[in-house]
Amino acid sequence: MPPPARPLTATPCEALTGTARVPGDKSVSHRALMIGALAVGESEIHGLLEGEDVLRTAAAMRALGAEIVRDGDGVWRVWGRGIGGLSAPENVLDMGNSGTGARLLMGVLAGHPFTAVLTGDASLRGRPMARVAAPLTEMGARVVAREGCRLPLTVVGTGDAVPIRYRVPVPSAQVKSAVLLAGLNAPGRTTVIEPQATRDHSELMLRHFGADLATEETEDGVAITLTGQPELTGRRVHVPADPSSAAFAAVAALLLPGSQVCLPGVGTNPHRSGLFETLREMGADLSFTQRRQEAGEPVADLLVAGGPLTGVEVPAARAPSIIDEYPILAVAAACAQGTTVMRGLGELRVKESDRLAAVARGLAACGVAVEEGADSLVVHGVGGRPRGGATIASGLDHRIAMSFLVLGLAAERPVGIDDATPIDTSFPGFVDLMNALGAKIAPGAGDS
């Protein structure tokens, strides 16, 4: 039974001020647990995201034989079983809402000679898995899924995985990562070619644990080659604050004149920075200071000051580095002066919800003129506070829920969401953190 819906309402407010550390990066947290479970010896993870999605991955890796304990706030220890050393789970692996958890785990399972069944919530059970099943099948695993290659599905893994050379047909770090994780237990070299570069957290984390990975520019895109059956050894990992979560506080601060907010230790991986680059082009007063490296990942403190924004054309080629931030970018665009055009958004239709449709519907309900195309969105900004005054269906999608709450802070009238429970998948403590900065987000349907 899903938990009961929790409505929330954001009320228009004035400036946000203060310093707040947003939770750990979701992508990096999944990888730290999975790769730690495939390493030999102990790994110590600091700043792990303790959100629902990542807790599902921890539970799955435990069910596969890794020892994983929580040792304090965000501090976790993992004793891995070595590559190919996981054991068959005794029950179905429920990955909850997490596409990253499910798809990366399919890669891990493909290189183990046993059978495992994966399921998830209604959102995850609706998401396409063929994109991962296809290369894993080429590598020798078998994937048996219900119609349309959706969860629940069964992975029949192999101890004799074949290394492949695979060109990813859609820009997806999840597909790339699944192939690389399966390639860990294949003799020889597994190559993934990406026509459009996507986040490289798997490559950085695998290297950090001792794997040999080479990247090379080819005519077809970047080719990433992993040498199979490396000895991975337990490591210490520091998880950066999640730029995708920082995005909500940052945009709220930008939209509320007089705001001054500092978000320390945010990941600045260039494959994740497209939102911040775009906001700067829109005129945002936003800067990164104290740049440093933590366990292979670049981080910095993000400083944001409120001020007016102007609409821009967002290049389609930037889509992979903005991908999870389009909903909050669209909220910023709604308050900007002039029109913002976003193209190359096809992948938004297969996220936790159809985000393109959800954003277009939600903005229109809040009085913002939008044009929704098959893979594009045009937002006609109002150059100030949009009307607001609507209740938005979050549709099991954390980023839709948080984006429209931010809109409510910067609108003329409150904006509610019908259910805040999905927020816990990626940003536990979102409401308290935002309210500590001066936001007004409260339980209940409000008077919208």
Q: Residue with structure tokens 């819906």?
A: 5
**Measured distance CA(310)–CA(435) in Å, rounded:** 27
3-class DSSP state of 113: coil
Q: How far apart are CA 193 and CA 106, in angstroms?
A: 19
Instruction: Return the active site residues.
Output: 324
Select the residue interacting with ligand S3P from 9, 11, 27, 321 (CB under 6 A).
27
Return the number of the residue (59 or 156) whose C-beta is nearest ligand S3P. Answer: 59
Q: Report which residue type is found at 3.
A: P
Q: Which of 11, 97, 158, 177 binds ligand S3P (CB under 6 A)?
A: 177
Q: Binding to ligand S3P by residue 282, rule CB under 6 A?
A: no
Among the candidate windows 6-14, 136-144, 173-181, 295-303, which touches ligand S3P by CB under 6 A? 173-181
Whose Cβ is closer to ligand S3P: residue 173's or residue 434's?
A: 173
Q: Which of 283, 391, 289 is nearest to 336 (CA)?
A: 283
Amino acid at 412: E
Please tell me the distance from the alpha carbon of residue 265 to that of residue 49, in angstroms, as a whole number.
Answer: 14
Does residue 324 interact with ligand S3P by CB under 6 A? yes
Among 281, 294, 347, 412, binds ligand S3P (CB under 6 A): 347
Closest CA to 447 of 14, 10, 15, 13: 10
Beta-strand ranges (E) seen in 60-131 are 67-70, 76-81, 93-94, 115-119
What is the amino acid identity at position 363?
L
* Residue 34 found at the interface with ligand S3P (CB under 6 A): no
Kindly state the smallest distance separating residue 311's Cβ from ligand S3P, in Å: 24
Single-letter residue type at 42: E
Q: Is 349 exposed, middle or buried (0-12, 13-18, 19+ CB in 10 A)?
A: middle
- In whole angstroms, give the CA distance from residue 329 to residue 415: 17
134 neighbors 86 (Cβ within 8 angstroms): no
Range in contact with ligand S3P (rule: CB under 6 A) among 47-55, 78-86, 166-174, 271-279 = 166-174
Residue nearer to ligand S3P on the CB measure, 11 or 321:
321
Task: Please identify which residue in 93, 255, 261, 323 interacts with ligand S3P, judged by CB under 6 A.
Answer: 323
60 Cβ contact list (under 8 Å, min separation 6): 89, 93, 95, 101, 105
Q: How far apart are CA 99 and CA 412, in angstroms?
A: 35
For ligand S3P, the binding residue among 9, 11, 123, 172 (CB under 6 A) is 172
Select from 173, 206, 226, 358 the one that contacts ligand S3P (CB under 6 A). 173
CB of 27 to ligand S3P, least distance (A): 3
Nearer to ligand S3P, 285 or 347 (CB): 347
By beta-carbon proximity to ligand S3P, the closer residue of 173 and 332 is: 173
Identity at 420, one-letter amino acid code = A
Sign of the Cα torsion 305, 364, 274, 243 reads positive
Which window, 85-93, 171-179, 258-266, 384-392, contacts ligand S3P (CB under 6 A)? 171-179
Considering the complex, what minimum distance in angstroms separates the CB of residue 15 from ligand S3P?
30
* Minimum distance of ligand S3P from residue 107's CB (angstroms): 11
Residue 354 engages ligand S3P in binding (rule: CB under 6 A): no
Q: Under rule CB under 6 A, which residues in 188-207 are in contact with ligand S3P?
A: 199
Which of 281, 282, 299 lies closest to 290 in space, CA to CA?
299
From the CB of 324, what's the least distance to ligand S3P, in Å?
5
Taking contact as CB under 6 A, which single stretch among the options 66-74, 132-140, 168-176, 272-280 is the one that binds ligand S3P?
168-176
Q: Does 100 bind ligand S3P (CB under 6 A)?
A: yes
Smallest distance, ligand S3P to C-beta of residue 371, A: 24
Is residue 57 involved in binding ligand S3P (CB under 6 A)? no
Burial of 334 (0-12, 13-18, 19+ CB in 10 A): buried
Identity of the residue, 348 or 382, whose beta carbon is nearer to ligand S3P in the bound complex: 348
Q: Cis link prior to 152 (omega < 30° from 0)?
A: yes
158 binds ligand S3P (CB under 6 A): no
Rg (CA), the chain: 21
Q: Should residue 425 be labelled a site residue for ligand S3P when binding is judged by CB under 6 A?
A: no
* 281 vs 341: CA distance, rounded Å: 13
Interface contacts to ligand S3P, rule CB under 6 A: 27, 100, 172-174, 177, 199, 323-324, 347
